[in-house]
Amino acid sequence: MNAVGFLNYWFVVVLMMIGFYILIAQGNLVKKIIGLNIFQTSVFILYISMGKIEGATAPILNSNWSVYSNPLPHVLILTAIVVGVATSALGLSLVVRIHEAYGSVEEDQINEMDRSV
């Protein structure tokens, strides 16, 4: 059992759970989207740390090095980062429109306004 190897991944799980908690527990809509961002970034750290090799270098071919870290997770995560920013931009513009329609971005106030109509 290599405990030090697991410690890295457990720390990433802790970060993921903090982001998840912000997403479901906070009432402010902007903070929910920030929590989603934190969640996404910690998932990226998980994938990238699975592709690392000790003593290797970045996957740029060089005659001085023979072992490279795995490039496949890098490619996946590049796409994921860009998709994440697209999601955040759309989410934030929805928050702006909700604010103009309801006058507030607190989840409980919006639900109350919906119920009272």
Looking at residues 55 to 74 of the shown chain, list those that interact with another protein (rule: CB under 8 A). Answer: 55-62, 67-74
State how far the Cα of 91 lies from the Cα of 29, in Å rounded to an integer. Answer: 9
- Let me know: does 68 contact 57? Beta carbons within 8 Å: yes
CB of 79 to another protein, least distance (A): 5
Under the binding rule (CB under 8 A), the answer on residue 37 touching another protein is: yes
CA 63 to CA 77: how far, in whole Å? 26
Among positions 64, 79, 114, 115, the unique one binding another protein when judged by CB under 8 A = 79
- The label of the residue with tokens 């329609």 reads 101
User: Under the criterion CB under 8 A, does residue 49 sit at the interface with another protein?
Assistant: yes
Task: Give the shortest CB-83-to-another protein separation in angstroms.
Answer: 5
Residues 38 and 18 sit within 8 Å (Cβ to Cβ): yes
Smallest separation (angstroms) from another protein to the CB of 45: 6
Q: What is the DSSP string of 28-51?
A: BHHHHHHHHHHHHHHHHHHHHHHS
Residues touching another protein, count (CB under 8 A) = 82
- Applying the rule CB under 8 A, the residues between 82 and 101 that interact with another protein are 82-83, 85-90, 92-97, 99-100
